[in-house]
Amino acid sequence: MSLYHLEKDGDVDALVDHLETSDSDGVRERSAELLGEVASLDDGAAVDALVSAAHDDESEAVRDSAIDALDQLGQPALEQLLSELPEVDTGDGRADWAAAEGFVAALDSDRAELRMAAANALGRLGNAKTLPQLVDRLDDESARVRARAARAIGNVGAPKGVPPLAERLDAPNVDVRREVADALAAIGTDRAVEALVSRIDDESPQIRHVVVSAIGEVGDPRPLDALIEALRDENGVVRRTAVFSIIELLSSAPTEQSHQLRESVVERLRQTDDESVVGPLVDILENTTETGPRRNAAWLLGRVAGEAHAAPVAEALAEALDDDDRMTVQFATTSLVEIGGSVVERRMLSVLDESRHSAGARAKAVFVLGKVGGDRARERLGRLVDGADDDNVRKQAFSALSKLGGRT
């Protein structure tokens, strides 16, 4: 059975077996990752297997995945990993600072894996008193440890962590850069956001990409203008990431600000290259499961999509008419009306003819046709008035047909 099915079934025992016996580094690495997602602290065999892999697996990638999986499972799992060190004494029920002292001692372990685990544990504890020791590990000889130290500083959330993090935004290792940027976003103070925005035009496209991605996680609209400027970046990956980050910021904005922000974004997006914006928005609507980003993508597509991209946009919006979220459906409907034209008319007629669409989606398609339809729509709506199976669809068809001037 594939790892995908094991994850879907939550088959902890089979994943443990793969982790312990597979000859493939990739299979063991993915098995460790999945155990962090589907196992629990009560699954003793899983915890034991991850501890063993973190200590002894021949693959560095597998060891790293096992450590991060133990972190996902919780503090006791990390404590079990570190328990072989005599200097680590986290004892049951000890105060957070007493536990933190033990993990701080583990930061000096000769083994990079144990220093990584200690950094993860300190990040989970979130005790600001450990910040100096974590900052010291930003210069660890192992990039893997430096990355976990940066992540831990972000989890601690202390503003004093901003300057040392900002100094390492151009770290040579891409994983360290990413963790540094994400940590600054997690801290989220004015200085942290300023540090990120200051590097949004860095000469390195890799750094610009990391920074633009992290800004989307800040959680408020302060850096929105910087992201909109990034839509003009010469690097396509940076531009695409900027769209995703803009959607993230819009989705996390307070309700009373969201409409005003969307209008402001539309005004700026219309000044950018259509392709750099529309493609990512369609991707979000088609592939993202989170409600907020889907709503905003559906709304924006009707305001920024040009004629050249009407077909793929109409296709994505048509599929969204079956969405479980009422607001996503509403935004998709209004966007289809905004786009209009023969492309939208044809796609809405297809919705009426395809049995896979719900009655609700068909009713919305009828509404759109009443706004943008021509002769073909009028003829089809007339037939629906005479013979639609669903009462709501029939009523919508009558109303839409009236708006088009009635039968010919």
Amino acid identity for residue 82 in this structure: L
The mean of the pLDDT values for the chain is: 88
Report the b/e string of 33-50 with b at 16+ CB within 10 A: bbbbebbeeebeebbebb
* Residue 21 pLDDT grade (very low, low, confident, very high; cuts 50, 70, 90): very high
Tokens of residue 372, six digits: 């943008």
Q: Does residue 344 carry a pLDDT above 90?
A: yes
Q: Residue 95's pLDDT is what?
A: 47
Tokens of residue 52, six digits: 């063993």
Percentage of residues of the chain with pLDDT beyond 70: 94
Asked which of 133-142, 283-292, 313-322 is least confident by mean pLDDT, the reply is 283-292
Q: Is 207 within 8 Å of 169 (Cβ atoms)? A: yes
What backbone phi and psi angles, to 5 degrees, belong to 22?
Answer: -65, 145
Q: Is 377 within 8 Å of 402 (Cβ atoms)? A: no
Q: Does residue 226 carry a pLDDT above 70?
A: yes
What backbone phi and psi angles, to 5 degrees, belong to 42?
Answer: -75, -15
Average pLDDT over residues 254-276: 76
Q: Residue 97's pLDDT is what?
A: 63
Task: State the virtual CA torsion across 249, 250, 251, 253 in degrees, nearest 10.
Answer: 80
Q: Residue 94's pLDDT is what?
A: 47
* Residue 368 pLDDT grade (very low, low, confident, very high; cuts 50, 70, 90): very high
Q: Does residue 193 carry a pLDDT above 70?
A: yes
Q: Residue 403's pLDDT is what?
A: 82
Q: What does the pLDDT look like over 84-118, one tens digit per residue?
A: 655 555 555 444 666 678 788 889 988 898 899 89
Of residues 165 and 5, which shows the higher confidence score?
A: 165
Q: What does the pLDDT look like over 26-65, one tens digit per residue?
A: 999 999 999 999 999 999 999 999 999 998 999 999 999 9
Chain-centroid distance of CA 387 in Å reads 45
Distances (CA, A) of 314 to 43, 343, 345, 354, 396: 48, 7, 9, 15, 21
Identify which of 369, 397, 359 has the alpha carbon closest to the alpha carbon of residue 381.
Answer: 397
396 class by beta-carbon count within 10 Å (0-12 exposed, 13-18 middle, 19+ buried)? buried
Q: Residue 91's pLDDT is what?
A: 52
* Residue 261 pLDDT grade (very low, low, confident, very high; cuts 50, 70, 90): confident
* Residue 391 pLDDT grade (very low, low, confident, very high; cuts 50, 70, 90): confident
Average pLDDT over residues 166-190: 93
**Strand ranges inside 48-107, DSSP E:** none
Tokens of residue 163, six digits: 């300057």
395 class by beta-carbon count within 10 Å (0-12 exposed, 13-18 middle, 19+ buried)? middle
Average pLDDT over residues 255-266: 78
Average pLDDT over residues 242-267: 81
Domains (range + CATH), the chain: 1-73 (1.25.10)
